[in-house]
Amino acid sequence: MPKISVDTPLAEVTLRKYESPKGKDKRELVRKLCLSLGLLQPGDSRDVVVDIMQVMLEAKKELTSKEVEELTIKNRKKHNQPMLGIAPSNIRRQLLRIRDLFLVEKIANNYRIKENSKILHLFEENIEKYYLKSILDRVKEYLKEVDKEF
């Protein structure tokens, strides 16, 4: 039986386009941001990442994972959301996913929006100019090689 190798990507990014964000309440705005950046899947009922992201955006300061957890629970109660996904381990996992997108950083045991910057600046500098460019460059290498071979 032939061995099947698993192709593990070096990097990947999910970006989605939705309708204009004008007129949305804060939670819905953050929800669409999370959907747009691939942090949340369309139709996913497990949306605690939305509350975590909203808490981080509103904090304007460093927070411990315990503070993020407490504020996330408070935010979910405020918006009448089910108390799903609020386990400390899941909160930390979601923070790691947001960190992987270069939007949040961990300093010692605290989290904050990276360099207290604007989220648009972080996207442009870290995702658009660096991460996305490197992915596009590699895809173009494959396109050139395919054109050469075929």
Per-residue pLDDT of the chain (150 residues; tens, 9 = 90+): 566 777 888 888 899 999 999 988 999 999 999 999 999 999 888 899 999 999 999 998 999 999 999 999 999 999 999 999 999 999 999 999 999 999 999 999 999 999 999 999 999 999 999 899 999 999 999 999 999 999
- Token pair of 144 as six digits: 């050139």
- Token pair of 120 as six digits: 């648009």
What topology does CATH give the domain 26-115?
Arc Repressor Mutant, subunit A (1.10.10)
**Hey, where are the domains in the chain?**
26-115, 117-150
Q: Are the C-beta atoms of residues 98 and 49 closer than 8 Å to each other?
A: yes
